[in-house]
Structure 1
Amino acid sequence: MNDRIKDNPTFKKFEENIKGAKMLKDIVSILSPLNKNSKDKLNIFEVFEKIEIRLKAISQSPDEFNGLFSDLGWIAHESINYELMQHCIDLAKKGNIKSAEEQLAEYYTSENLKLLILQLKTTKEFQKRYDLITLAYKDTIEKRFHSVVPIILMIIDGGVNDIDKNKGFFTDSTDLTAWDSIAAHNTGLTKLREILNRTRKETNEEEIFLPYRNGILHGRDISYSNKYVAGKCWAALIAINDWAKAIQDGNKNKPKEEKTLTFRESIDEIKKIISDYEDHKKKSAETNNCISIWKPRNLKIGVDLAKFGEVEDYENFTPEKDAVKFITNWKKKNYGGIAKQVYCFIEETTLSKEAGRIRKIFENKTLKAYEIKRIIDIAPAISEVYLNVIIEYAQKDYELEIKLRMIYQNEKGDTLVIGQKNGEWKFIDSFFFHKIEYLEES
């Protein structure tokens, strides 16, 4: 494994592509006096100077962060907020490492976790533990850190056990590395395990600021209930999930050597990088603008928004429109349509299996009427739509309130912000299905 994260293949490949682009720019510069079109082509390469500066900062930051913070229980990982990481590095270099740790602890015990922990649902080993994760999140927001810490430590241990088929995160024989990974670099999770797994043989009443697994779960470290320990537990769990994703993507071991590109293929790849960078920059600017101006809507049902209606009666790209789309699919017994609206299937689940599961829940329950009761915009990409529904089942009518908790994303699965176009609101949780299932027991 590479000694530095900046030497990971992904970073090195970008670096080589930029060098190739600069060489190509030199060739075009020589030709420009002879060809008027060459002058125009030179403008394409101006973006590479900015990319090179940005890449240098991004590729160096994880190593710098780990060097400054890993002994304190924080490591760089793929899902870390880059601006926060760089800001903390800057603070630490100025001698303000306590202030940096304060900001990290605040970040990982705040509502910033909401979107981060959604990623855990995409990993089957954490998806099955998501009810516990949700409870731990609620306790975090309400500052019940005494409850959060042991729960997250148990989720980490059990989840890694299932992923690696070994004996969990805290076992030395568990290989926590992966090819071309930030979290799973040997300066990341492996180093973190060594710190958190330290022996704690005596009862300690002094406050600790590292989540020592043995001391906490064996009742030796009593004074662990603070935001620093809780935040480090959450950050470790999210970093572990990044490692799990690398394993899922087949990056456990070094892949076969890639073929060497021809000069023409290299040029085509460089052109694609330019195009992708410009597209990414445009989308990022749009997303940041939408986030900066976002505020929860104060919709009055029956005034700003119809209580009842068809899909066409609601504004495009809104959670209420996709909520009514769900209602329409239910009315039409379109179980495949409902399955497409469910957010994040577990790995083994196919659309047909999900549709079959939904059919079993809904097929004998006829939707007779619905009413939108309220809509709460929780975050720029998350809203909750509350519906009252009347269901006929076994020749009886039942009135229920169901909550659709929804997240906004595009067809690639990237999270969008309300106000952006060409997205779809999907159900984050399908727990409201259980209300409908329970009719069979009533």
Structure 2
Amino acid sequence: MAKKKTKKKTRIKDNYSYKEMDMTFGGAKDMQTMYKLAKLTGYSDPNLDDAFKKFEDINKQYSAIKNVPDRFNHFFAQKGWIAFETLSFDLMEKCVKLAEAGKPKEAEDALIEYFTDRDRISFLVTRLNNVQEFRPRRTLMLNALEDHFSGRYHASVPLFLMLIDGFVNDVEQIGFFADKVKLDVWDTIAAHSSGLSAIQKILNKSRRKTTEDEITLPYRNGILHGRDLGYANVNVSAKALSTLLALRDWADAIKKGKKGVNKEFVPPTLEESAEQIASSLEGLAENQRQSEYLNNVWKRRDITVGEDMPAKGELSEYEEETPEKAVMQLLEYITARNYGKLAMMLEFNRKYETVGKLAGKLREVFEGKKLVDYKLVNGYDNASAISEVETELIFEREEDGKQVTDNRTFRLMYQDEEGNPIPRGYKKAEWKFMFDFRNIEYIDFRNIEYIDFR
């Protein structure tokens, strides 16, 4: 009797994208060898010398990036945590090192600390709210988050579980907890077979016995059917939130057309390899040029509004290529209701099919309210390509003229024509706003504080 063939277990590091990068690094190593031979004949390039000096460090960093997601799922998937694209790599690496050192409790403590910190997960929450199928659930999400951060886990856990199931149902027409759901998506981390599919099987376990014992996993059936009565704790709530946020990366992969793909990696031809090596070397040289600029030219600015620039002035009064001028330009567009120009300044406009569609959404966001006054309050450089500008905005409700002051911080990234962040002043580029304007819809004209996950 012939033996039944077992399907080979795949790893995240076997993903198509990683195999491409493996080939790129292999080609760079070959080119490094060729360059050493060329130097024997008298050829030399200082930029390449510096680039190759850093190559080994870059290769080590890549090796960690490639291996950590598999190690993370190995240690934590059965405990309710999975790796996903937008989860902090430093956090995953830290947790893996703790687990390898025999300290899994400390690792889980770090994960819980991360998923109970408003500031740390605000970016992930904003990305989730940007998904079309999730938008009708924004109010429920805000309520669930407020319960979660306030320690009301009896309320947050059922809401997170309902949000998980409904969101997946709207994307795939079958719920997350359905037995026949298929969550694997090609060339992904979150939707790898060791990720969401594994966690779904755990959370969907049958729980037929009523118990008051405290549980540490968000068992859907036991919680929503009233059998697992000891569910209201931070472990369960944080893990349910983590799964929900991982589904954002799953949905993103589906929208990119990766669902149902099973493309095998095919090594490039000799000509393709030569082109890839040349491109890699130019990339290394470009990184070196940027590094030299950062070390010798770029400086973090000490900005004082009212001294270095006016709180509110004409555009010509602000220095060219600065984030402050970009903010003043953006506020002029809002005042003039020029939503087309406004849309072009947003970093996330490429997620929409056209600038016109984004402009239409912005028109809805600002409907019934207008920006009647504004001023700069503070500005600071977070990094070479990222700055934040604090503003004070005054909105007026059109139906009755009532006004409200909105203190809002704009986060900007300096990007080249391909959307890559570059150091301010390195070359001509554009400031793009990493900001979701939709929370402006919820401005409360009674001057009561509103929830804002910027």
TM-score, normalising length: structure 2: 0.77
- Give the aligned partner of residue 56 of structure 1: 63
Consecutive unaligned residues in structure 2, runs of 5 or more: 1-7, 295-299, 447-454
Mapped partners of 1:28, 1:417: distance in 2: 29
Mapped partners of 2:319, 2:112: distance in 1: 39
Retained in 1: the 8 A contact 2:83–2:189? yes
User: Are 2:225 and 1:222 aligned?
Assistant: no
The code of the aligned residue for 2:394 comes to: N
How far does residue 318 in structure 1 lie from its aligned partner after superposition? 7.3
The code of the aligned residue for 1:311 comes to: L
User: Are 2:140 and 1:137 aligned?
Assistant: no
- Give the aligned partner of residue 3 of structure 2: none
User: Are 2:430 and 1:425 aligned?
Assistant: no
Mapped partners of 2:366, 2:45: distance in 1: 64
The code of the aligned residue for 1:335 comes to: Y
Aligned residues between the structures: 424
Mapped partners of 2:423, 2:26: distance in 1: 35
User: Are 2:251 and 1:244 aligned?
Assistant: yes
- Give the aligned partner of residue 95 of structure 1: 102
The code of the aligned residue for 2:236 comes to: V
Q: Match for 1:151 among 159, 162, 175?
A: 159
The code of the aligned residue for 2:198 comes to: K
Q: Match for 1:335 among 309, 319, 339?
A: 339
Mapped partners of 1:146, 1:285: distance in 2: 54
Mapped partners of 1:376, 1:155: distance in 2: 37
Q: Match for 1:386 among 383, 389, 392?
A: 392
Q: Match for 2:412 among 408, 411, 419?
A: 408
The code of the aligned residue for 2:433 comes to: W
Mapped partners of 2:291, 2:52: distance in 1: 21
The code of the aligned residue for 1:54 comes to: Q
How far does residue 158 in structure 1 lie from its aligned partner after superposition? 0.9
Mapped partners of 1:23, 1:361: distance in 2: 53
- Give the aligned partner of residue 234 of structure 1: 241
Alignment identity in percent? 33
Retained in 2: the 8 A contact 1:381–1:415? no
Bigger Cα displacement from structure 2, 319-328 vs 173-182: 319-328
How far does residue 116 in structure 1 lie from its aligned partner after superposition? 1.9
Mapped partners of 1:185, 1:363: distance in 2: 41
- 1:178-189 correspondence runs (5 A): 178-189=185-196
- Give the aligned partner of residue 119 of structure 1: 127
Consecutive unaligned residues in structure 1, runs of 5 or more: 288-292
- Give the aligned partner of residue 370 of structure 1: 373
Mapped partners of 1:419, 1:227: distance in 2: 45
How far does residue 47 in structure 1 lie from its aligned partner after superposition? 3.8
Q: Give SS of 2:405's match.
A: strand
Q: Give SS of 1:430's match.
A: helix
How far does residue 174 in structure 1 lie from its aligned partner after superposition? 1.4
Retained in 2: the 8 A contact 1:29–1:42? no
C-alpha offsets along residues 165-202 of structure 1, whole Å, 9 cap, x if unaligned?
A: 22x11112111101111111111111101111111122
Q: Match for 2:210 among 203, 208, 216?
A: 203
Retained in 2: the 8 A contact 1:373–1:388? no
TM-score, normalising length: structure 1: 0.79
Change (3 A) 1:165 1:413: farther
- Give the aligned partner of residue 36 of structure 1: 42
Q: Give SS of 2:210's match.
A: coil
The code of the aligned residue for 1:150 comes to: P
- Give the aligned partner of residue 169 of structure 2: 161
Mapped partners of 2:208, 2:256: distance in 1: 39
Retained in 1: the 8 A contact 2:330–2:345? yes
Retained in 2: the 8 A contact 1:75–1:183? yes
How far does residue 266 in structure 1 lie from its aligned partner after superposition? 1.2
How far does residue 359 in structure 1 lie from its aligned partner after superposition? 5.4
Retained in 2: the 8 A contact 1:382–1:408? yes
How far does residue 282 in structure 1 lie from its aligned partner after superposition? 8.7
The code of the aligned residue for 2:344 comes to: K
Mapped partners of 2:215, 2:290: distance in 1: 42
The code of the aligned residue for 1:139 comes to: D
Change (3 A) 1:333 1:207: closer
The code of the aligned residue for 1:80 comes to: L
Retained in 2: the 8 A contact 1:404–1:427? no
User: Are 2:355 and 1:351 aligned?
Assistant: yes
Retained in 2: the 8 A contact 1:73–1:210? yes
Q: Give SS of 1:143's match.
A: coil
How far does residue 346 in structure 1 lie from its aligned partner after superposition? 9.5
C-alpha offsets along residues 124-164 of structure 1, whole Å, 9 cap, x if unaligned?
A: 22233233333333333333333222222111111111111
The code of the aligned residue for 2:125 comes to: I
Mapped partners of 1:115, 1:139: distance in 2: 19
Change (3 A) 1:337 1:31: closer
Retained in 2: the 8 A contact 1:406–1:428? no
Mapped partners of 2:362, 2:113: distance in 1: 40
Q: Give SS of 1:169's match.
A: coil
